[in-house]
Amino acid sequence: MKLSTLVIASVSGAALTTGAVLVAQHGGGTAKAKALGAPHEVSTPPDQAYRTDVPPAARRVFFGELHLHTAMSLDAWTFGTKVMPDQAYRFARGETVMVPAAQVRMEQGLPATAEVPARRAWPLDFAAVTDHSEYVGAMPMLDDPSSAFSRSETGQKLKAAGRGGFAMVERMSRDNGSQAQKDIRAAAEAAAGWAAEVKAADDNYQPGKFTTFVAYEWTATAGYGTHMHRNVIFNSDHAPKPFTAIDSDHPEDLWKYLDSVRKQGIDVIAIPHNANLSDGHDFDWNMSDGRPIDEAYALERALNEPLVEIAQTKGYSETTPELSPQDEFANFEIMDRIYRGETAPKQHGSYVREAWGRGLVIQSKVGANPFKMGVVGGSDIHNGLSVSDEDGYAGRISGLDPKTMLPRGAAAEAALGLGRPDQPAKRASGQRENDPLQFSGAAITGVWAEENTRNAIFAALKRKETFATSGTRMRLRMFGGWGFAPAMTGRTDWVARAYATGVPMGSDLPAKPAGAKAPSFILQATKDPDGANLDRVQVIKVWLDHGSYREKVYDVALSGGRKDDAKGHAPPVGNTVDLTTGAYKNTIGAGVLTKVWRDPDFDPKVPAVYYARALEIPTARWTTLVAIRNHLPIPAKAPATHQERAWSSPIWFTPAGFKKGA
C-alpha cells in the first residue's frame, strides 16, 4: 500500500443517527438511484444467470469492501464507535465524513473536542456494511438518554463499562432468559436496526458509480474466542430478517436459511472469514455433528459458500510456515493467538491452501468438493472507516485518516506495544489481549465485472472471478487452458482469446483435449497506479496424492531479469525503504509482469488446483509508519518492511471420468 496524500474538504457534519431515526422503515427499492433518474435495476433471480451485452473481454476491475462494522454492531459500540452505516458508505465512496469526537478520543487517544474530518485516500467501487446481526442496532440506543434501554439498569451498566462492555455484551448474548438479555433484545427491536441497515445500503447505491450490498455478519463461535463467522451478502434491495448465531451456531442451519431466501427470489451467499482463528473448525474433515463430510454437505457448502476471505486485520488465512515449510513467503501477517486467551489455535483446518487440498481429498471420497472456494479480502474494521492503505491504519480494528486521526503519545505507544511486558495485557475479564503488533493492515477484494452494479458484481462473486489484495490496488489476472502459446500475450486481443479458448480464475479447466500434454496458464499482474512496483508472480499448485495432498510454489515471472536457482528460489528483489521516513523508491521491480506458464509436473490422472500470488517490492509496514511519525523506535518484534501481495481465486483440474474412491 502507498503512503497516501489526503485532501480534507471542509464540510459540516451530520448529527449522529440514533434512537428515533433508527426506526425509519425501509420503503423498498433503490430510492436514491430512482431520485437521480437512474433506471430501476431488477435483481438477477437465484435460478438464472446474469446476462449482459458486454463481452467478457471488456470486464474491468472493481475494488471493494465486503467486511465492515459500524456503531450498529454490539462490539463496535463498546469500542467507542459512533459512525453509522450511512456515514460508512459515504466514506467508502470517497466523501469527507465528520467523525464524532467521542470516537476519536476513545480509539486514537486524541484530545478531540469537536467532530474530526476524515476522508479515504481513494474511493472504493463497492462496499457492504456487515454489522453483527445479533441485536443489530441496540447499542446506539444508549446514545439517546430518553430511550428505555439507556434508562435501564443494563444500559446504565454498559455505558459505565466503556470497553469492558464488550465482555458484558458477550455474556448477555449467552445468558438466555436473563433481564439483561431481555433489555438488549427490546432495544434491538425498538431500533429497527435491520430496516436501517437495508435503507442505508439502498440510499447509497449509485448504479454505475458506487455499488452497495445489503449484508450482515453471522457471528457464530465454536467456543469462546473461536471464530466460525460468515458474512451474508444479498443481491437485492431488500432482504428478510437475518438468521443469527442466537438462532443457531451451526453453518448447516445458516445454509437452510439461505435456501429459504432463494425461494423468495433473492440470491444470497455466505463468506467465511478469519479461518485462521477458527481453531481448525472452518475446514474440518467433519460436519458440525462430528460425522465425516458427506456428498450432501459438500454440495450444500459449495453452493452457499463459493468464496472465502483470505486476508483481513486479524491475520491472514492463506497458509503458515508450519503448514507450508517450502514456501519462503508463507510467514506473512500471521496472528497465532485466538481471543480466548494465550491459546495457539489449531493450524490444521484453519488455512485456505490446506482447505483446497482437503477439498480434493474429500472429493475423491464422496464425489463432491466442499471447499471449492474463490477468494476475497476485507478489513473487518469496526469503526465504520474502511481504509486499505498502510498509513490509514494504526493497529487493532479501526481505520483512520492519517492527517487528522493518527494516534499520538501514549495511544501510539500502546498501538506499537511499547512499554508493555512481553506477555500481552489482560482484559478486565482476565482474558489476554492479542499482541497489538500482530494486527494487519486491511485487505480488499478485486472483481472482474462488466459494470459497477449489484447484478454484475454479485455475478462476478458467484463465478469466483475475484482476487484479494493486502490493500494495494494491484490488478491480478489468471486464465487456464490447453493451448495458450507463449507468444499469445503479445497480441492485442489476447484477453478475448483467453476467454474464448480457456477459463478465468474461479473456474474448472475444460476437459483435456486428446494430445494435450499439460494445461497452460496466463498470469498478469499490474502495479497499483500510485503504489510499489512488482517483485514476482507465482503459481501455487496443490494436488491429490494417495489420500492426501501435496503443494508446490513456482516462480512464474520475476522482475529485473532474475532467475530461479537449482532449488527453485530466486534472489531477493532488494529493498529501497528509507527507515527514517518510511518512503520507498520504484527503482527496482516492474510495473507489469505477464507470463504464459505450462505446468512442468502435470499428471493427467491427478486432480489439482492452481492459484496465482503476486508480490510487490518491500514497503514500510504500518508499525514502522506509526513509529516514524511519532518519533518512536520501530518495534523489533514486527517486520519493519513487508511485501504487499495479491491472491487469485483458483482454477481446478479434474481428470475426465474421475470418480470417488479413485
Half-sphere exposure of 409 (CA within 13 A, CB side): 7
- The whole-angstrom separation of Cα 339 and Cα 170 is 13
- The whole-angstrom separation of Cα 39 and Cα 16 is 31
**DSSP line for 505-570:** TTSBPPPPPTT--S-EEEEEEE--TTSPPEEEEEEEEEEEETTEEEEEEEEEEEGGG----TTS-P
Residue with cell 465425516: 292
pLDDT in tens, 573-614: 999 999 999 999 999 999 999 999 999 999 999 999 999 999
Note the helical H segments in 224-351.
Answer: 251-263, 295-304
Beta-carbon contacts of residue 60 (< 8 Å; ≥ 6 apart): 448, 449, 450
CB 633 within 8 A of CB 418: yes
Instruction: State the pLDDT at residue 592.
Output: 98
- Residue ranges of E strands in 163-264: 211-212, 215-218, 230-235
The closest of 298, 314, 308 to 353, measured between CA atoms, is: 308
Low-confidence ranges of the chain (pLDDT < 70): 1-40, 173, 223-225, 339-343, 419-433, 659-662
Residue 325's CB is within 10 A of a number of other CB atoms, namely 9
**DSSP line for 59-114:** -EEEEEES-B--TTSHHHHHTT----HHHHHHHHTT--EEEPHHHHHHHH-----S
- Residue 627 in 3-state DSSP? helix
Q: Would you state the torsion angle of the CA atoms of residues 412, 418, 423, 426, taken in this order, to the nearest 10 degrees? A: -40
Enumerate the domain spans of the chain. Answer: 19-445, 472-653
- Residue 475 in 3-state DSSP? strand
- The whole-angstrom separation of Cα 121 and Cα 375 is 24
Beta-carbon contacts of residue 581 (< 8 Å; ≥ 6 apart): 628
Q: Which phi and psi (to 5°) does residue 629 adopt?
A: -75, -15
Beta-carbon contacts of residue 341 (< 8 Å; ≥ 6 apart): 225, 431, 432
Residue 566's CB is within 10 A of a number of other CB atoms, namely 5
Provide the whole-model pTM.
Answer: 0.92
Instruction: State the pLDDT at residue 422.
Output: 47
Instruction: State the pLDDT at residue 432.
Output: 52
Between strands 466-469 and 444-449, the pairing is antiparallel
Tally: H helices and E strands in the chain: 16, 24
CB 307 within 8 A of CB 374: yes
Q: Which phi and psi (to 5°) does residue 596 adopt?
A: -100, 120
